Each structure stands twice: as structure tokens, then as C-alpha cells.
Amino acid sequence: MRRFLFAGLLMIVVVLSACSNDSAEPASQEVVQDTVQSFYNEMSKFDEMGKSSLENFNTTLTSYSTGDATDKELQKAVDEFQDTASDIANQVSDVKISKSLPDTIQTLLRDSIIAFKSAYSIKEQASKSAVSPDVTAEEFNAMNQQADVAMLYGISKLNEARAAAGLIDPEESTEGLIVDPSEADAAAKTDTGAATTESTAGNTAN
């Protein structure tokens, strides 16, 4: 069933993107760039929050697998990561998209929001699975891979919006949160991309 998570995500994106976009008075190029940059900054903030929480979760899970962390410490790390992932997903949903932006950019930003929210929701579920005796290491890794693919899809849409706004060159290589859109395409086709620490951590799920 989890194999269809990303397919479901794409279906949701297509359906919501097809909804009517009644735009306000068109914004100037400068306003468009400022608005898209602000959106990018907001997504970057969430990305950093997620990375920090995930690093702590993975570290504790790895320590638990080697006997260096207790059940209580593991549960605390799981609870904290779940809370963070859920909080980020909710905050992403609350990010507003200006109706004065061109319809194409509005659609790209909306698609990125849907993908980012899905990624954090899946990671929240994956963290619960890490301490479940009913979830195998393969299933745990598959969930993390689906979350990574969703994240890459959202990143690619955000990249396209920045390029459309004239903030970056369409073929420009970027750092940090942003990656080349082709990487998201490759991830979607191969269904890979989970971090090594996540893959290692998943082995404790049995």
C-alpha cells in the first residue's frame, strides 16, 4: 500500500492544481521576486527544523540499536520527531500564496506546499514505525524513500517557481534546500534517495 503514497501525492497535486485560480491585480516583477523569495525563505526554515530533528532521531535510533540508548531515550526521540514533523506539516499548510502572483507561479508554489506537507506527514508515520514490531526494516526504509521523493518533488516545484520569477537561471545548480529539478525526476523514477542514516536506522525496526 505504501508504494502508492507518491502516486497518490501526484494525483492530489494534479487535482488541486486544476482548481480555479482567480488572481488579483498582477504584481510587478520586483514584487513577484520578493514574494517568491520570501516563500523560499519560509520553506528553508522548515527544512532546517526538519533536518535538526531528524538528525537527533537517527542518532538516538542508531545508539539504541547498539545498546547505547535506553527504551525511554528512544521513545523520547521518536515523540520529539513526531511532534516536529507534525508541526512542520501544519505550518507548511498555513503558508499563504499571494493571488497577485502569475497563475503559473501560484500553481508551482501550491504544488510545492502539497509535496512538502506530504513529505513531513510520511516521515512522521515512519518515525512511529521505527518502534513498531509489526513494521519490517524494508517497510521502514520504503516510507523514508517515499518521503524523500515527495520532498524532492516539492523542491523541484519551488525551483521552477524561482526560475519563473527570474531569481535563478533554469539550469543553475543550487545549494542547501534547493536541488536541480532533474534530481527529483530521477528519484521519482527509481524510488530511491533515503539517507544512509535512515536506512541503517530502519534495521532496528524488526
Pseudo-torsion of CA 143, 145, 150, 155, nearest 10°?
150
State yes or no: pLDDT of 20 exceeds 90: no
**C-alpha grid cell for residue 190?**
527509481
Q: What is the pLDDT of residue 153?
A: 92
State yes or no: pLDDT of 47 exceeds 60: yes
Per the model's pLDDT, the better-predicted residue between 124 and 36 turns out to be 36
Q: What is the pLDDT of residues 93-148, one digit of tens each?
A: 889 999 999 999 999 999 999 999 999 999 888 888 877 888 887 888 898 899 99
Q: What is the pLDDT of residue 157?
A: 93
Find the mean pLDDT for residues 38-49: 90
Q: What is the pLDDT of residues 158-171, one digit of tens each?
A: 999 999 999 988 87
**C-alpha grid cell for residue 178?**
534547493
State yes or no: pLDDT of 155 exceeds 60: yes
State yes or no: pLDDT of 150 exceeds 50: yes
Q: What is the pLDDT of residue 171?
A: 72
Confidence of residue 198 (pLDDT cuts 50, 70, 90): very low
Find the mean pLDDT for residues 193-201: 35
State yes or no: pLDDT of 188 exceeds 80: no
pTM: 0.69
State yes or no: pLDDT of 179 exceeds 50: no
Q: What is the pLDDT of residue 129?
A: 83
